Amino acid sequence: MNQAVAQDPLLSTDFIQEMVKQMRAIDSYGTYDGWPVERILAPYVVTKEQRRAIPVIGDPDEILLSRIKAFYNAIASLVEKECGLMAVPMINITHEGFGRAVITVGKLVVMDKTLRDVHRYGYESLSKMKDEADKLLSVALEIVGKYPEVAGM
């Protein structure tokens, strides 16, 4: 790892650290042991050119689906950490690459995201991925704050 990357403050954020935990959790063979953070999270970075080159025919593969689940699991984990209530992610994706990701806290739906073309799932950079997660997290926490009695059920 070069010095500039090692000092990148983005890599020390709660979200990036949680993403690494989630990715390591789905790595049942220990493939990621010893890998730097950037390498573990590299599959989430997809440029516009790379995105255009990915065909949207065929079923999304299990590796891609597990990465999507890891992303929403990380957000749910951060919601839980912030509000102290259990947050549960639920993800349903059809074989055509469309679906929905939902996070509930108690009986309250705090995040509802429609997923399209998951074959091409990714972000321009880790920074953009973190920005998206921050938006989802802040809205979720705002909803929990607004309806605490439902979240506590």
Mean pLDDT, rounded, of the chain: 92
Amino acid 7: pLDDT: 62
Amino acid 3: pLDDT: 39
Amino acid 119: pLDDT: 93
Residue 20: both structure tokens together: 């690494």
Whole-angstrom CA distances from 78 to 26, 29, 116, 141, 148 are: 18, 26, 24, 10, 17
Q: Provide the pLDDT confidence category of residue 2 given band limits of 50, 70 and 90.
A: very low
Q: Provide the pLDDT confidence category of residue 101 given band limits of 50, 70 and 90.
A: very high
Distance (Å, whole) CA 124 – CA 135: 16
CATH entry 1.10.3100.20 includes domain 11-151: yes
Tell which residue, 16, 69, 64, has the closest CA to residue 38: 16
pLDDT at 9 over 90: no
Across 104-122, average pLDDT: 95
pLDDT tens digits for range 19-48: 999 999 999 898 999 899 999 999 999 999
Give domain limits for the chain. 11-151
Q: Provide the pLDDT confidence category of residue 1 given band limits of 50, 70 and 90.
A: very low
Local structure of 71: helix, strand or coil: helix
